[in-house]
């Protein structure tokens, strides 16, 4: 085992600090000499697998360079042709979408594109409780009776019977969930996670797949002398879906989000503008804002309210309608937080009683709202660094959501447990999955899932590990450095924001509010840096640092820019500390 970073085997919060190791450190030093970039930035680039030669292109990613040819995806040609034929023939089109952010954004992409060419489409979002995830037979039969073309987005890959029931219409599937051994009887199934795909684009969310289909549609229109709608203006939707669906921010996804944030900053889209206002976003959008401010509000309708509210908000061009929908979603999001808090407390207590040191953390409870089990699973995963499953039980049947950690393919494991008959149904993608289980088979199903996840290494990394990118001095934490580090972003799934350690620091700290901590620290070389630790008094961090006295500490956290009162300065978002 590598020696702990700064020899921190057990920090104030009980975590072991893990650094990059000798070989990555050597490569970062060499990159710094070759490129003249700051060492801290080189450490981030090396962690991403970027070489010195690749660094300039990585720091300035161009969508045109990273955008794949849509035709590398199977069925893309037939899908684009059928879509354009429906548009040209003024056929009746229905969009069947999942009720989450990715489904809503995918639907909004199609509806916005169609509106730009003078066409409309019917939006159908299933009710989470009454209909469940994905196409169902009654809905597909009804849509097929009234439409010529049904486009299923962010769902449909495993929906054999419902798609077969839509005999009166053609069906296209634009999805990213893990495919089975056979495909449903759709005209086209465009999905980078089909079993006969090579996996090169497996990181795309559904909105990314839909965007590629629109790229191909525009290309075919151009070949016939017709200008298609502006696709770059749609990237705010792709960025929102990519971040909210926790898709890895690698390859073209990184370019989607970088460019999409710029589009979103223009505030051109009525729905996102209204949502940003009710969320009180007063700065340029960031991945954090997409994942924690906008995304949960878009999701709130599908979780505990009317399923189509989020998609309608993202698709509308009417400012008045957007404002009304945003207000409604904001209210539902507040209600969702209250429900989630109760389920989270019960689930955590149950999981702790069962034990948090295995390859899987799980909890199940009678009457737990199906709209919040996914969020609670994510919270358990974050708290334990292990895949987590949370299940709501009703009438002997459990419906649950699961969230995974990096490097563990949860969707494949859930799908296998379903194929073995221990689940009624189940599927998803690497980082998230859904499942339905008979309560009588629940313990056996979770035991089997844990066994499969353990084979992939789940549970090997202790919940106490804290990954540190490198060492920094307070004087080196400048605005210029933070701006350069942002060029290596955006940060998110599979591309975590860099975390730096500051060694042997004198600390002055004070409590702010009920349980937060603000501090100033220096290493004795003159420069000082300010830091903030939210929730520090919920654990041992706050009391220890508030009473620091003459003790010196190693500190670890993420750099950020704090703009307040007309002043802009760098601060550390403190996450952990250890006595030096």
CB contact at 8 A, 96 and 240: no
Tell me what the mean pLDDT of segment 61-79 comes to.
96
CB contact at 8 A, 494 and 571: no
Beta-carbon contacts of residue 388 (< 8 Å; ≥ 6 apart): 351, 360, 361, 362, 377, 378, 380, 381, 402, 403
d(CA 137, CA 379): 34
Is it the case that residue 132 has pLDDT exceeding 90?
A: no
Q: Where are the alpha helices (DSSP H) in 147-205?
A: 160-165
| Residue 524's pLDDT band (cuts 50, 70, 90) | confident
Cis omega before residue 171 (within 30°)?
Answer: no
Average pLDDT of the residues of the chain: 95
CB contact at 8 A, 34 and 13: no
d(CA 528, CA 424): 58
Torsion of CA 479, 484, 487, 488, to 10 degrees: -120
| Residue 282's pLDDT band (cuts 50, 70, 90) | confident
Is it the case that residue 333 has pLDDT exceeding 80?
A: yes
> What is the number of alpha carbons within 13 Å of residue 243 lying toward its C-beta?
31
C-alpha of 93 from chain center: 29
Tell me what the mean pLDDT of segment 55-68 comes to.
94
| Residue 119's pLDDT band (cuts 50, 70, 90) | very high
**Nearest partner of 428 among 155, 57, 107, judged by Cα:** 155
Q: How far is CA 466 from CA 15, 62, 463, 499, in A?
A: 6, 33, 8, 9
d(CA 137, CA 199): 30
Q: How far is CA 115 from CA 207, 211, 272, 319, 365, in A?
A: 17, 15, 18, 16, 44
CB contact at 8 A, 157 and 174: no
pLDDT given for residue 136 in this prediction: 97
Torsion of CA 570, 406, 211, 279, to 10 degrees: -40
Is it the case that residue 352 has pLDDT exceeding 90?
A: yes
CB contact at 8 A, 446 and 390: no
Cβ neighbours of 69 (radius 10 Å):
11
Is it the case that residue 216 has pLDDT exceeding 80?
A: yes
| Residue 462's pLDDT band (cuts 50, 70, 90) | low
Beta strands in 74-146 (DSSP E): 93-97, 122-124
CB contact at 8 A, 8 and 554: yes
CB contact at 8 A, 539 and 526: no
Angle 553-557-563 from CA coordinates, rounded to 5°:
115
* Three-state secondary-structure class, residue 346: helix
pLDDT in tens, 258-279: 999 999 999 999 999 999 999 9
- Of 149 and 539, more confident: 149
pLDDT given for residue 338 in this prediction: 94
Is it the case that residue 489 has pLDDT exceeding 90?
A: yes
| 15 secondary structure, DSSP code | P
Whole-prediction pTM: 0.90
User: Which of 184-198, 426-440, 456-470 has the weakest average pLDDT?
Assistant: 456-470
CB contact at 8 A, 507 and 554: no
pLDDT given for residue 1 in this prediction: 65
Q: How far is CA 319 from CA 314, 315, 322, 437, 531, in A?
A: 11, 11, 5, 43, 40
Angle 152-154-159 from CA coordinates, rounded to 5°:
60
Strands 388-394 and 397-403: antiparallel
Please provide the DSSP assignment of 371-424 as one string. Answer: TTHHHHHHHHHHHHTS-EEEEEEETTEEEEEEE--TT--HHHHHHHHHHTTSSS
Q: 295-304 and 101-116 are packed helices; what angle lies between their axes, rounded to 10 degrees?
A: 100
d(CA 164, CA 487): 48
pLDDT given for residue 393 in this prediction: 97
pLDDT given for residue 291 in this prediction: 95
pLDDT given for residue 461 in this prediction: 66
pLDDT in tens, 161-171: 999 999 999 99
Tokens of 528: 């000082």
Tell me what the mean pLDDT of segment 22-35 comes to.
96
According to DSSP, the residues that pair with 436 across neighbouring strands are 399, 425
d(CA 450, CA 384): 14
d(CA 53, CA 63): 19
CB contact at 8 A, 175 and 201: no
d(CA 229, CA 234): 9
Is it the case that residue 567 has pLDDT exceeding 90?
A: no
pLDDT given for residue 446 in this prediction: 98
Is it the case that residue 464 has pLDDT exceeding 70?
A: no
Angle 341-342-343 from CA coordinates, rounded to 5°:
95
């Amino acid at each position: 085992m590598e020696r702990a970073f700064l020899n921190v085997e057990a920090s104030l919060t009980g975590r072991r600090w893990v650094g990059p190791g000798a070989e990555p450190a050597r490569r970062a030093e060499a990159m710094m000499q070759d490129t003249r970039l700051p060492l801290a930035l080189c450490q981030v680039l090396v962690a991403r697998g970027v070489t010195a030669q690749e660094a300039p292109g990585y720091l300035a990613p161009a969508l045109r360079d990273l955008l794949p040819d849509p035709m590398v995806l199977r069925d893309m040609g037939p899908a684009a042709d059928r879509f354009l034929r429906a548009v040209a023939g003024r056929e009746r089109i229905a969009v069947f979408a999942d009720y989450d952010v990715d489904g809503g954004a995918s639907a909004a992409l199609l509806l916005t594109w169609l509106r730009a060419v003078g066409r409309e489409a019917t939006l159908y979002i299933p009710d989470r409780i009454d209909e469940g995830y994905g196409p169902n037979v009654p809905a597909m039969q009804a849509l097929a009776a009234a439409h010529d073309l049904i486009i299923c987005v962010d769902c449909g890959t495993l929906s054999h019977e419902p798609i077969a029931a839509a005999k009166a219409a053609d069906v296209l599937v634009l999805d990213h969930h893990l495919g089975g051994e056979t495909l449903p009887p759709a005209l086209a199934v465009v999905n980078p996670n089909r079993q006969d795909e090579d996996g090169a684009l497996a990181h795309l969310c559904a909105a990314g797949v839909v965007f590629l289909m629109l790229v191909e549609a525009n290309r075919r229109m151009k070949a016939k002398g017709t200008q298609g709608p502006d696709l770059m203006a749609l990237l705010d939707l792709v960025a929102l879906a990519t971040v909210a669906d926790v898709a890895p921010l690698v390859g073209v996804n990184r370019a989607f989000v970088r460019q999409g944030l710029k589009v979103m900053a223009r505030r051109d889209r009525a729905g996102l503008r209204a949502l940003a206002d009710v969320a009180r976003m007063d700065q340029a959008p960031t991945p954090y804002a997409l994942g924690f401010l906008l995304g949960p509000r878009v999701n709130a309708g599908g979780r505990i309210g009317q399923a189509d509210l989020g998609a309608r908000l993202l698709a509308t061009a009417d400012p008045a309608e957007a404002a009304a929908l945003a207000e409604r979603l904001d209210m539902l999001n507040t209600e969702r937080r209250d429900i989630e808090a109760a389920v989270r407390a019960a689930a955590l207590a149950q999981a702790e009683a069962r034990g948090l040191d295995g390859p899987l953390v799980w909890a199940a409870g009678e009457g737990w709202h199906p709209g919040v089990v996914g969020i609670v699973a994510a919270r358990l995963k974050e708290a334990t660094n292990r895949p987590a499953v949370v299940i709501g039980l009703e009438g002997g049947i459990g419906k649950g959501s699961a969230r995974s950690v990096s490097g563990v393919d949860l969707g494949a494991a859930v799908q296998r447990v379903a194929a073995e008959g221990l689940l009624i149904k189940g599927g998803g993608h690497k980082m998230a999955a859904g499942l339905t289980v008979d309560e009588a088979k629940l313990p056996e199903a979770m035991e089997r899932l844990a066994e499969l996840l353990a084979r992939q290494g789940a549970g090997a990394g202790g919940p106490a590990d804290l990954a540190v990118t490198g060492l920094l001095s307070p004087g080196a934490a400048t605005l210029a450095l933070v701006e350069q580090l942002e060029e290596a972003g955006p940060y998110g799934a599979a591309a975590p924001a860099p975390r730096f350690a500051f060694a042997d620091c004198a600390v002055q700290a004070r409590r702010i509010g009920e349980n937060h901590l603000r501090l100033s620290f220096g290493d004795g070389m003159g420069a000082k840096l300010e830091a903030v630790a939210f929730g520090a008094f919920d654990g041992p961090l706050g009391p220890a640092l508030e009473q620091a006295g003459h003790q010196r500490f190693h500190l670890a956290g993420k750099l950020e820019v704090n703009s307040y009162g007309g002043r802009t300065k760098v601060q550390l978002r403190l996450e952990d500390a250890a006595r030096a």
